[in-house]
Amino acid sequence: MNENRLLCLGIESTAHTFSVAVLTENKILSNEKEVYVPPPGEGIHPYEAAQHHLRKAKKVLQDALVKSRVNIKDINVIAFSAGPGLGPCLRVGAVVARTLANYYNKPLTAVNHAIGHIELANFFAKTNDPVVVLVSGGHTLVSTYLLKKWRIFGETLDITLGQLFDQLGRELGFNSPAGKYIEELASKGKKYLQMPYSVKGNNVSFSGLLTYAKNLIKKGYSKEDVCYSVQETAFAMLTEVTERLLAFSEKKEVLLTGGVAANLRLQEMIKSLCEVHNSKFHVIPREFSGDCGAQIALVGLLQYKTKNLVEIKDSVVRQSWRIDEVDVTWRD
């Protein structure tokens, strides 16, 4: 075994997922998770989710260490998701991380969850200077990197794509995250129903679309057609904004990441746009698109290498933390 390799243990607990991963710079050794599932037709309850994480924390941590075949004493740094997310959930991850760091005397580093989505996608795609499209339950934005920060060019001004699908799913009696159910229904839809299309400048807005779709369902329109039309409309909005950033920034790569990146129709649409602009299309592998410890561990390792650490007494969680506030110490 290589003695010089750097090892990071990362803990993710921003919302419904509690996950622990162990990785080195070029290999993910383990990535274990437990997902809190609310009752059908209901959304995530922050307190219930936090209780779930507390119950599962020990098992997930143990599994991750066993599977990675790493002794915790050999870990170089402990990373945790410090935000953005639900307060009660974030605190569970933070407490586990602080305890490990204190007991085993390891350095601690606080990771922005969204930066994790971006870096993990890049871990597989090895992009150079992409337009990033980040779509998940917490984020919907397009961004490029410049001078130590991910710069937000366009974003949602109300709910995210993930929330759009979750809330539509709730109306249909599914539990969150509902993206995969919506996608399945949409694939059976045939008729396109006219939907509100809302792009303001480089920003998008989905709340009008959600209300409209919910009303159509109440009126008895086919679920399949509604889901299909919602997907087509919401993705067209996002793709238009992406295209505008691609044309403006004159970059040659697009990186699609976040939970909603797993949607095949969205991938297809962004890909078609890349072809027009002679740009390369990259998407995060399906099994890593949702929230996971690997995204935290990876950024944790990059932060450790650039001495971007945090003292336990300062290791607070931040429910609101925009990606353009994060100093990216490991990129030029």
Minimum distance, C-beta of residue 240 to other proteins, in the bound complex (Å): 8
Closest alpha carbon to 150 in 141, 158, 159, 137:
141
Contact 283, 257 (CB under 8 A): yes
Contact 293, 29 (CB under 8 A): no
Closest alpha carbon to 160 in 97, 84, 264, 105:
84
Please identify, using beta-carbon distances, which residue of 32 and 225 lies nearer to other proteins. 225
Task: Copy the structure tokens of residue 102.
Answer: 């204190």
Minimum distance, C-beta of residue 111 to other proteins, in the bound complex (Å): 15
Please identify, using beta-carbon distances, which residue of 51 and 222 lies nearer to other proteins. 222
Please identify, using beta-carbon distances, which residue of 80 and 228 lies nearer to other proteins. 228
> Which stretches within the chain are classed as H helix?
46-68, 87-103, 113-125, 161-171, 179-187, 207-218, 223-249, 264-276, 293-305
Please identify, using beta-carbon distances, which residue of 24 and 205 lies nearer to other proteins. 205
Residue-wise DSSP of 180-214: HHHHHHHHT--PPPP----EETTEE--HHHHHHHH
Contact 144, 6 (CB under 8 A): no
146 secondary structure, DSSP code: E
Please identify, using beta-carbon distances, which residue of 8 and 245 lies nearer to other proteins. 245
104 secondary structure, DSSP code: T
Minimum distance, C-beta of residue 277 to other proteins, in the bound complex (Å): 6
How far is 262 from 90, CA to CA, in rounded Å?
Answer: 24
Please identify, using beta-carbon distances, which residue of 244 and 305 lies nearer to other proteins. 244
Minimum distance, C-beta of residue 244 to other proteins, in the bound complex (Å): 4
Minimum distance, C-beta of residue 51 to other proteins, in the bound complex (Å): 25
Binding site for other proteins (CB under 8 A): 84, 138-141, 143-144, 146-147, 149, 151-158, 160, 192, 200-203, 232, 235-236, 239-240, 243-244, 246-249, 269, 272-273, 275-278, 319-322, 324
